[in-house]
Amino acid sequence: MSDFTVVGLRVVREAARYGSFSMAAERLGYTQSAISRQIALMEQAAGQALFERRARGVQPTDAGWIVVRHADKVLGELHAARQDLEDLGTHPPGRLRVGAFSTAMAALVPRAIAALIRREPQVRVPLREGTTAALVTAVARGRLDLAVVTPSESLPEGVEATLILDDPLFVAVAPEHPFAGQASVTTAMLRHERWIAGSAEPGSTLLGTWADSSWQPNIAFVARDWVAKLGLVSAELGITVVPGLAVPALPLPSASYASTIPPRYAPPPWYIVRASQTTAVSEASPRRCGTLRPNCRPRSDTGHARAAQLTDDHGP
């Protein structure tokens, strides 16, 4: 059995992310034949198929998702190693190394950093974006001072978590969509909708809010960028979910927001994780972040957003 390679892991992750070999080739700057060759080598190393070929793209097999999960961790560690090497021998005072997942990086973290710098103008704040697993590992190994994450199944020894907010979830629809004019919508009404998701995996962070439901979302398009997602929504190609905290930070093409998903279907809360022993600056930062709880309601005065309450199938 041949070995997995870093290039192969990156190719598998991108192909799974976009549900397409050609899109993975475009994102990585490879030819499609090179992508196919790397997939074949990875499948040879795994001893089984990693993707199911379909008419409209590819879908990872169960084995494929296992490789994707480990690829996220391995590639995250390699990225962290590069950053550590860049920082080797340079440990300036007043530095707070912060990590966050993409939505927090766009919405919450900039406000927290601005508040920190107003109070401590000399502090330097290197930022790192990543998955919860990679960020928690970076904190545990001393590569980050703190990180904003969603819940982790378990925290390494020496890492502690502080709850900072429970973020509501919104459904974004085109202005002409029936939901845009509804006073309320139920989860049952979403059953036959076409979805725009950040991953082709039904259990991805936001769509995973329906993990306990009797149906799985029909994922029509995969796009990680919020502007791309809302553009697809505006073109009436599907609907998507948007964390409440991200709504004020997003440019609003012609998309409407159906407001909040009930607690049963709410996304995971957000936490700050940090090492149990931190600097004074690090210890103060969770309090600063925790006090920055921006208004998560959709902006109804822009002409773009109209709200409809999303309720549980069985009542509020």
Question: Is residue 210 packed enough to be buried (19+ CB in 10 Å), middle (13-18) or exposed (0-12)?
Answer: buried
In a domain, 316, yes or no: no
Tell me the Cα Rg of the chain: 21
Q: Verify that 64 and 111 share a domain, yes or no.
A: no
Task: Name the β-bridge partners of 171.
Answer: 241, 258
Q: Verify that 99 and 135 share a domain, yes or no.
A: yes
Instruction: Supply the pLDDT for residue 217.
Output: 78
- Domain with 159 in it: 92-166+268-291
In a domain, 133, yes or no: yes
Instruction: Supply the pLDDT for residue 280.
Output: 31
Instruction: Supply the pLDDT for residue 207.
Output: 56
Q: Is residue 251 within a helix (H) or strand (E), and if so which, with residue range?
A: none
Q: Verify that 187 and 255 share a domain, yes or no.
A: yes
Q: Verify that 237 and 154 share a domain, yes or no.
A: no
Has this prediction a pTM greater than 0.75? no
Q: Verify that 61 and 210 share a domain, yes or no.
A: no
Q: Verify that 206 and 304 share a domain, yes or no.
A: yes
Q: Verify that 276 and 257 share a domain, yes or no.
A: no
In a domain, 18, yes or no: yes
Instruction: Supply the pLDDT for residue 254.
Output: 54
Instruction: Supply the pLDDT for residue 33.
Output: 93
In a domain, 109, yes or no: yes
Q: Verify that 111 and 242 share a domain, yes or no.
A: no
Distance of CA 209 to the CA centre of its chain: 13
In a domain, 97, yes or no: yes
Q: Verify that 307 and 217 share a domain, yes or no.
A: yes
Q: Which residues of the chain have pLDDT under 50?
A: 205, 259-266, 278-316
Quick: pLDDT tens for 13-62.
999 999 999 999 998 999 999 999 999 999 999 999 999 988 888 999 99
In a domain, 79, yes or no: no
| CATH at 64 | 1.10.10.10
Q: Verify that 279 and 305 share a domain, yes or no.
A: no
Please tell me what DSSP assigns to residue 239. B
In the chain, the number of structural domains is: 3
Q: Verify that 182 and 112 share a domain, yes or no.
A: no
| CATH at 142 | 3.40.190.10
Q: How far apart are CA 264 and CA 203, in angstroms?
A: 16
CA-nearest of 160, 142, 137 to 95 is 142
Q: Of the candidates 16, 46, 74, which is a domain's last residue?
A: 74
Q: Verify that 65 and 113 share a domain, yes or no.
A: no
In a domain, 237, yes or no: yes
Instruction: Supply the pLDDT for residue 298.
Output: 38
In a domain, 83, yes or no: no
Instruction: Supply the pLDDT for residue 314.
Output: 41
Q: Are 223 and 229 in contact (CB under 8 A)?
A: yes
Instruction: Supply the pLDDT for residue 92.
Output: 55
